[in-house]
Structure 1
């Protein structure tokens, strides 16, 4: 499990401003909730973000599934980000050689590095993928999550693959801030999972819970559900602190 409060652990990330910012945001807003807004219309996305904004530390996007994407969407998203004080996590899952991912991260129509505080990548290409992304993201104070495990059935990201991903992350502590994983992998990493708040935060010791349609699915009260997940996640964290004493 992670040791100490979110605020106390800020000092563990002296080399990475975005990791510190995330921990500070979690502590200030008393929320470890990330909402995954995997919708295809920009207005739908922005409406959800405006409703959940007060209750989240992160908003997770899939920018390349938006059918009517334009720069105006990014502008509006960034206005909401500043208004509600959350970070943006683009779930891009980069998986190519260093030179290619540099261009995918910085260029094209999305220009992810300009607005996404955090993104993620598969470790399968080796250190080159982190080095390539870091050349773009580090000067902008961005952070990277490594996909050390995946929640899908039959995933090959297990065992020695996961171990190698952890070692790769340790070599790039100034840019890699944590893992996407099904369990806690190391003591001072920011892990994300897809289970109940109690399982994720209390039992597995992760730092952030990601919820999608459980909050904004058909027939759901978005604000009510966001508040519920915020409260459950935070209470699980407080219980974890009690167990650490």
Structure 2
């Protein structure tokens, strides 16, 4: 299960440490934190090592190769230094992956945005298919996809489904939710991405455990149905 943090710095580190045993990837939006610095970066890496989870900065890179490479390696966030993977749009073409891969360590990866969970998204079927084709051309760098369905038949691709919430409904800004069972059994998610369902909960750790159990139970049900 992945978890999105978009809260204040203190609670971010506190929650990362509290929930670390229950997640496989921490999905961050560090540009929402006002005082992110090198000390913050090292602290987050230490927490990830302690609990054995990976860090994915949800940067959604979407520019020409040279610009993206500079955004990735420099600036106030120096994303390349502290992440295990980043997200990117396929819209600019394969140059964006070439640029990111050139600047990455061998163990780092990219996750492509193939589909989105917002109402009215422009990620059409042909766009998604082109995104998957682009991923196939970078087998050593593209880990998988953020998506709403099983977009690739390649068993090496990881499918991460966002917009997962136990009380599935939506919000006033176009977000559309599905519950963990639907994400795993109907949409083929390998990993569920949970944000407000945990972060906005009165007891985040208890909420994380509920999501973890719901997703795992759904996974077991797919095995029994085969």
TM-score, structure 1 as length reference? 0.82
1:23 match: none
- Structure 1 runs (4+) deviating above 4 angstroms are none
- For 2:128 and 2:41, locate their aligned partners in 1 and report how far apart those are by CA, in whole Å: 34
Matched position secondary structure for 1:93 = strand
Cα RMSD (Å) of the superposition? 1.2
Q: String of CA shifts for 1:116-175, please: whole Å, max 9, x gaps.
A: 1111111111010011011012x3411111111111111111121111111111111110
- For 1:216 and 1:110, locate their aligned partners in 2 and report how far apart those are by CA, in whole Å: 23
1:127 match: 94
Alignment of 1:42-121 (within 5 A): 42-121=9-88
2:2 match: 34
- For 1:74 and 1:239, locate their aligned partners in 2 and report how far apart those are by CA, in whole Å: 39
2:210 match: 228
- For 2:38 and 2:179, locate their aligned partners in 1 and report how far apart those are by CA, in whole Å: 35
Note the residue ranges of structure 2 that are not aligned, 5 or more in a row. 164-177
Per-residue deviation, 1:190:
1.0
Alignment of 1:162-201 (within 5 A): 162-187=128-153, 188=155, 189-193=157-161, 194=163, 195-201=178-184
1:214 match: 197
Please say if residues 42 and 82 of structure 2, whose CA atoms lie closer than 8 Å, have aligned partners that are also in contact: no
- For 1:186 and 1:243, locate their aligned partners in 2 and report how far apart those are by CA, in whole Å: 21
Per-residue deviation, 1:240:
1.5
Per-residue deviation, 1:203:
1.8
- For 1:51 and 1:222, locate their aligned partners in 2 and report how far apart those are by CA, in whole Å: 9
Matched position secondary structure for 2:152 = coil
The answer to which structure has the higher helix fraction is 1
- For 1:184 and 1:173, locate their aligned partners in 2 and report how far apart those are by CA, in whole Å: 18
Matched position secondary structure for 2:213 = helix
Please say if residues 129 and 151 of structure 2, whose CA atoms lie closer than 8 Å, have aligned partners that are also in contact: no
Matched position secondary structure for 1:146 = strand
Note the residue ranges of structure 1 that are not aligned, 5 or more in a row. 1-32
- For 2:118 and 2:30, locate their aligned partners in 1 and report how far apart those are by CA, in whole Å: 21
1:243 match: 225
Alignment of 1:6-21 (within 5 A): none
- For 1:88 and 1:161, locate their aligned partners in 2 and report how far apart those are by CA, in whole Å: 27
